[in-house]
Amino acid sequence: MRAGERPAGVGIDHIAYRLPPATQTLAELHSSGLLKSSPELLSGFGFDLVHVAGEERHVDLAIGAARTLLCEAAIDPSAIDLVLFASGLSSSSMMGCEPAGAGAFIEVRDVMDLFRYPASYLQHELGLDRAAVAGVDQQGCASLLSAIRLARAMIVAEEGIDTVLCVGADRLPAGASREQIYNVISDGAGAALVRRNTPRNRILAARQITKGALWEPGSIEHEIIAAYFPTARTLILETLEQAGLTIDDIAWILPHNVSLRSWEILLGLLGAPREKLFDRNIARVGHTIAADNIINLRDATDAGLVKPGDRIMLFTFGYGLNWSCMILEH
Amino acid sequence: MRRTILVTGGTGTLGRELVRRLRQDPDAPRVLVLARTATITDAGASVVRGDLLARPRLGIDPASYDELRREVTHVVHCAAATRFTLPLEEARSVNVAGTRAVLELAAECRRLQGIACFSTVYVSGRRTGVFAESDCGDAGAGFVNSYEQSKAEMEELVRGAISQLPIVLFRLSTIIGDSRTGTVTGFNALHQALRLLYQGLVPMMPGEATTEIDLIPLDFAADASHALLRCMGQGVEAGHVYHLCAGHARSTAVGTLLDATMSAFTRHRPAWRRRTVERPAFADARTYELFVRSVEEAGNEVLLGATRAVQAMAWQLAYPKTFDDRRAAAMLDPLGIRAPAVLDYYPEIVRYCVETNWGTTA
């Protein structure tokens, strides 16, 4: 390694995302009956707009994000060794069976519908003929970060796997509430290319905590909120320790786009200054289930905020319950 | 001269234990308990029907009131509104106005020798540092809850009467149960917080893990206050304040206490471990306030109730302090009465809470 050259490792080499162009305001969502809380409360918690897919299926969003990534990275599709398709919603790990009957979000008309997989569809549509595929799901909003973590583990574990395309995409079923525990949900997709021997966004540490005792989210919102903060703090401190860093070493925190208020509280528990939080997308993008961290990494990079060598922290939380944290060196 | 002791709050957690001890004194004092119902307490004392909130004469019938004025030699005023979440006026009606009525009765007792008023070390409110027995109130720092404030106001009232009446003040720390058996007879805000912690509903607490928390067992509180009562006029002097607390040496850090709590939960309910409840995080005052405000705004009923219950007590942790008890210790040490170290008995208290489901199956 020459002087001034940064060490290579497994890192996130390229990023792209796709948001449906149509947006709705909190007031519009409220008038459509798609919010549980008042627009005023959610506005106070930092939300403004969400992106809502019209005709686009979640796999269309995924292909849009992945195609942009492959194009921008000028990657030959045959260079992809593995595709990991991440889905936060259970419905996203299927090809999609909409429109469903009244009162149902998913309609399975034929058992063969259950064998139609987005990962294979993605491989075929993008011409990733040499890539093996797998799905990463059942971790809610932590699914894509988990896929990136698994991609890194696969690269480290197996010779011959050097380049992994991780794609996460979710869209809420039509008519579903756009609010989950005081967070406003967007449809969207994110794609990340995880590669061996790249100096970009080197993964320094990644950890996850799962609390299966709270697997059933329907009636335990209070327990979820109560578990969220101390577990998030514990996980972040553990991940920092794994990386040999402290919170002071982190230049940017790239959040999942949940309520700004909850981030202010978590920052307080971490003793981290508010200025380190890249928060601009909470209002203008909303919470895209699993793609937030990737969207924020891309936007923070494009805005020139993240400098080479900066240590950045990605944190997210998903039903299941799953807390996931990753520290990168940009 | 045989003592006649009127006890208010004699059916409460501490009062009951105190009455039991007083009735066993060698001089066999006559012990009367001011109570709303019954004719005899479970500690065997006679009841004088009355109510701290009732007027005139505390609701006591005229004949009994006259008898008290003739016979009472000592007044032990334990009765108090101790719920931290009471509206201030409601707390004042018992703790201030009720005390005023008791002092008015005491002032009319012809054979009166002494009055013991029970207060709390938390009249110190949001003060930090060392709080001595000679210190008074919050010194402008403010209070965490209506209980603290109303008790501080009660102390002001008492201090105003000290020139006319032989009053001593006993300031209690937080009583958590019996150190010998773990039994809890009075579940208070701390036990409620433990229950919410068990249920996984306490995400954070204000302050730092190293903040000292002062807790005492019921048996110590009863033994110590009983011993001091017996020494009234013989070392325990009117006008003085006595701290019945663990003090710095026998207190523990709240982080250590939380660890002991979670260990005890696991030990006595192994299935609880599978709930993977995280230890609450410690938050600076601003962060904790933001969390509480957010819960209020969001309005989740369960979390709101839990947060209100915890914060009424937990805010004290944001104001670290230790209680100096050298005046009480000078009297109690020679008698071999000393609060045990909290961690020596606390796990048994937690065990009792868990095994009785906080008293519901005791």
Of A226, A230, A264, nearest to B290 by CB-CB distance is A264
Q: Give the best-scoring range by mean pLDDT among A216-220, B23-27, B223-227, B315-319.
A: B223-227
Nearest to B319 by CA among B143, B86, B139, B120: B143
Instruction: Indicate yes or no: CB of A269 within 8 angstroms of CB of B200.
Output: no
Of B274, B276, B300, nearest to A225 by CB-CB distance is B300
A284 CB within 8 Å of a chain B CB:
no
Q: Are strands B174-175 and B215-216 parallel, antiparallel or unpaired?
A: parallel
Q: How far is A260 from chain B (nearest CA, A)?
A: 11
Label residue A99 by pLDDT band (50, 70, 90): low
- In the predicted model, what is the mean pLDDT of residues A197-213? 95
pLDDT at B227: 97
Label residue B63 by pLDDT band (50, 70, 90): very high
Nearest to B119 by CA among B82, B90, B87, B145: B82
Q: Which residues pair with B74 in a beta bridge?
A: B5, B114
| Residue numbers in A near B275 (CB within 8 A) | 213
Q: In the numeric block, which tokens belong to residue A280? A: 């601009």
- In the predicted model, what is the mean pLDDT of residues B63-73? 96
| Residue numbers in A near B300 (CB within 8 A) | 221-222, 225
| Residue numbers in B near A231 (CB within 8 A) | 278
pLDDT at A6: 58
Instruction: Indicate yes or no: CB of A222 within 8 angstroms of CB of B306.
Output: yes
- In the predicted model, what is the mean pLDDT of residues B238-265? 96
Nearest to B16 by CA among B45, B49, B50: B45
pLDDT digits (tens, 9 = 90+) for A7-20: 568 999 999 999 99
Instruction: Indicate yes or no: CB of B281 within 8 angstroms of CB of A225.
Output: no
Which residues does B293 contact at the CB level (< 8 Å), separation at least 6?
none
Lowest-confidence region among A270-279, A313-322, B171-180, B295-304: B295-304
- In the predicted model, what is the mean pLDDT of residues A250-273? 97
Shortest CA distance from A221: residue in chain B: B300
| Residue numbers in B near A320 (CB within 8 A) | none
From its phi and psi, is residue A207 left (phi > 0), alpha (psi between -120 and 50) or beta? Answer: beta
Label residue A150 by pLDDT band (50, 70, 90): very high
pLDDT at A109: 78
Residue B33 in contact with residue B48, Cβ under 8 Å?
A: yes
Half-sphere exposure in the Cβ direction for B257 (13 Å, CA): 26
A228 CB within 8 Å of a chain B CB:
yes
Whether the predicted pLDDT of A134 surpasses 80: yes
Instruction: Indicate yes or no: CB of A265 within 8 angstroms of CB of B298.
Output: no
Q: How far is A112 from chain B (nearest CA, A)?
A: 37
Label residue B34 by pLDDT band (50, 70, 90): very high
A231 CB within 8 Å of a chain B CB:
yes
The length of chain A, given as a count of residues: 330
Q: In the numeric block, which tokens belong to residue B95? A: 């703790």
pLDDT digits (tens, 9 = 90+) for A180-196: 999 999 999 999 999 99
- In the predicted model, what is the mean pLDDT of residues A247-272? 97
pLDDT digits (tens, 9 = 90+) for B111-127: 999 999 999 999 999 99
Q: How far is B127 from chain A (nearest CA, A)?
A: 23
User: What is the average pLDDT score of chain A?
Assistant: 92
Instruction: Indicate yes or no: CB of A222 within 8 angstroms of CB of B201.
Output: yes
Instruction: Indicate yes or no: CB of B294 within 8 angstroms of CB of A262.
Output: yes
Of A222, A230, A262, nearest to B204 by CB-CB distance is A230
pLDDT at A119: 95
Instruction: Indicate yes or no: CB of B278 within 8 angstroms of CB of A234.
Output: yes
Distance CA B167, CA B311 (A): 33
Whether the predicted pLDDT of A98 surpasses 80: no
pLDDT digits (tens, 9 = 90+) for A21-36: 999 999 999 999 999 9
Give me the residues of A, 116-175, that contact B with CB < 8 A. none
Shortest CA distance from A37: residue in chain B: B298
Distance CA A261, CA A266 (A): 9
SS (H, E, C) A164-219: EEEEEEECCCCCCCCEECCEEECCEEEEEEEEEEECCCEEEEEEEEECHHHCCCCC
| Residue numbers in B near A37 (CB within 8 A) | 298
Instruction: Indicate yes or no: CB of A265 within 8 angstroms of CB of B279.
Output: no
| Residue numbers in B near A262 (CB within 8 A) | 294
Q: How far is A255 from chain B (nearest CA, A)?
A: 18
pLDDT digits (tens, 9 = 90+) for A52-85: 998 899 999 999 999 999 999 999 999 999 999 9
Whether the predicted pLDDT of A43 surpasses 60: yes
Q: Which amino acid is at B233?
A: G
pLDDT at A7: 59
A226 CB within 8 Å of a chain B CB:
yes
| Residue numbers in A near B278 (CB within 8 A) | 227, 230-231, 234
Q: Which residues pair with B332 in a beta bridge?
A: none
| Residue numbers in A near B287 (CB within 8 A) | 264-265, 268-269
Label residue B39 by pLDDT band (50, 70, 90): confident
Q: How far is B95 from chain A (nearest CA, A)?
A: 35
The ipTM of this complex is 0.91
- Report how far apart, in Å, the C-alpha atoms of A109 and of each of A97, A99, A100, A101, B236 are: 8, 11, 9, 10, 86
Residue A42 in contact with residue A182, Cβ under 8 Å?
A: yes
pLDDT at A270: 97
Label residue A5 by pLDDT band (50, 70, 90): low
Shortest CA distance from A214: residue in chain B: B275
E strands within chain B? 4-8, 30-35, 46-49, 74-77, 114-120, 129-131, 167-172, 174-175, 204-206, 212-213, 215-216, 241-244, 252-253, 281-283, 321-323
- Choose the mutation target among B262, B287, B296 for the interface with A, i.e. most A CBs under 10 Å: B287
Q: How far is A17 from chain B (nearest CA, A)?
A: 31
| Residue numbers in A near B282 (CB within 8 A) | 269
Which residues does A96 contact at the CB level (< 8 Å), separation at least 6?
A57, A58, A59
Whether the predicted pLDDT of A87 surpasses 60: yes
Residue A186 in contact with residue A285, Cβ under 8 Å?
A: yes
Q: How far is A206 from chain B (nearest CA, A)?
A: 20
pLDDT digits (tens, 9 = 90+) for B123-163: 999 999 999 999 999 999 999 999 999 999 999 999 999 99
Of A41, A226, A268, nearest to B287 by CB-CB distance is A268
Distance CA B149, CA B213 (A): 20
Instruction: Indicate yes or no: CB of A211 within 8 angstroms of CB of B276.
Output: yes
pLDDT at A218: 82
- In the predicted model, what is the mean pLDDT of residues A146-159? 96
User: What is the average pLDDT score of chain B?
Assistant: 95
Of B280, B290, B302, nearest to A222 by CB-CB distance is B302
Q: Tell me the DSSP string of B2-52.
A: --EEEEETTTSHHHHHHHHHHHTSTT--EEEEEESS-SB-TTSPEEEE--T
- From the number of C-beta atoms within 10 Å of its C-beta (0-12, 13-18, 19+), residue B285 rates as middle
How many pairs of residues across A and B have Cβ atoms under 8 Å apart?
69
- In the predicted model, what is the mean pLDDT of residues A299-326? 96
Q: Which residues pair with A323 in a beta bridge?
A: A209, A317
- Compute and round to an integer the Cα radius of gyration of chain B: 21
